[in-house]
Amino acid sequence: MHYTFQWGVAFSYLPELLAGAWVTFHLTFIGFWTGLVIAVFLAVGQVYGGPWLRRSISTYVVFFTNTPSLVTAFFIFYGLPEVGILWSPYVCVLVNLILNAAAFLTDAIRGGVASVRKTEMEAAETLGFSMLQKIRYVIVPHVAKVLYAPISNLYIVFILGSALAAIFGVEELTGTAFNIAARTFRSIEIYSITAGIYVIMTVIASTILALVGRWAFRVKARIF
């Protein structure tokens, strides 16, 4: 009565799984990096902004870093339609991802922004830099070097965490795996292959991030 693994059957669904992996990729790519851009501004706001701005940003960060992303996704997907906001499943999950990524990244970047030397900021001031220029030429180069590795790690966490999109009708990798498993009942084989695809995706992402880090910010990240 031992279960017999049927890898051939499972591998015949590889193209379908890879199509799902593509959705996982662009969902997390757009979501995370948009979140990062927002987070840079929020972190700057938290360090240099007025008390009200600081307080609002803190509330947002505390809320999203302390609620499961699944719960906020439920709120966006099933809660917002009650007040007439009906987004497509992809947009719902993407917005949730951006809001979560921005919150976590704001928290991570804030310390980096605060550690920019006062003298550097004063020098920028004397040169007549606008706030945007200060972010671009003083804050980002400083923060990037310190925070590149933890941010890269967070990106991997978000790729894996994007599996929750399956619950909200997005046909990404995990959702596709569920569909195939339901059709064929070959759950163990399908989920093993799915796990393998996630590993390959994250290894590729880490490698590219490490290479970009070396080239753009001279971050000496070990790939493996």
Partner 1 sequence: MTSLTRALGAILAVFLALVPLTSQARTLDQIIADGTVRIGVHPNLPPLSFQGPTGEWQGYDVELGKLLAEKMGVQPEFVATEFNARVPSLVSDLIDFSLGALTRNSERMKVIDFTFPVYTENLAVLTTEKAGPVKSWKDLNKKGLTMVGCRGCYPVQWMKENMPNVEVLVVDSGSDLVRTIAQGRADGTVANLEWHKRFTDNFPDVKWVIVDDVIRTAYCAIGVSKGNETLKTYLNAAIYELQSAGTTEALWEKFWGAPPLTKVVPNPYW
Judged by beta carbon, residue 53 or residue 223, the one nearer partner 1 is: 223
Select from 43-51, 93-101, 135-143, 174-182 the region that touches partner 1 (CB under 8 A).
Answer: 174-182
**Could you give the CA distance from residue 195 to residue 205 in angstroms, rounded to a whole number?**
15
Q: How many binding residues for partner 1 (CB under 8 A)? A: 31
Q: What is the CB neighbour count within 10 angstroms for residue 197? A: 18
Contact status: 175 vs partner 1 (CB under 8 A): yes
Least separation in angstroms between residue 26's CB and partner 1 is: 19
Which residue from 21, 98, 181, 201 is in contact with partner 1, where contact means CB under 8 A? 181
Asked if 78 touches partner 1 (CB under 8 A), the answer is yes
Q: How many CA atoms does the CB half-sphere of 180 hold within 13 Å? A: 28
CA distance linking residue 106 with residue 182, whole number of Å: 39
Asked whether position 224 contacts partner 1 by CB under 8 A, the answer is yes
Question: How many C-beta atoms lie closer than 10 Å to residue 193's C-beta?
Answer: 19
Q: Taking CB under 8 A as the rule, does residue 6 contact partner 1?
A: yes
Binding status of residue 45 toward partner 1 by CB under 8 A = no
Query: Alpha-carbon distance 170 to 74, whole Å?
Result: 13
Task: Give the tokens for residue 209.
Answer: 């991030």
What is the spatial distance between Cα 55 and Cα 41, in angstroms, rounded to a whole number?
Answer: 15
Residues at the site binding partner 1, with contacts judged by CB under 8 A: 1-6, 78, 81-82, 86, 89, 166-169, 171, 175, 178-179, 181-188, 192, 199, 203, 224
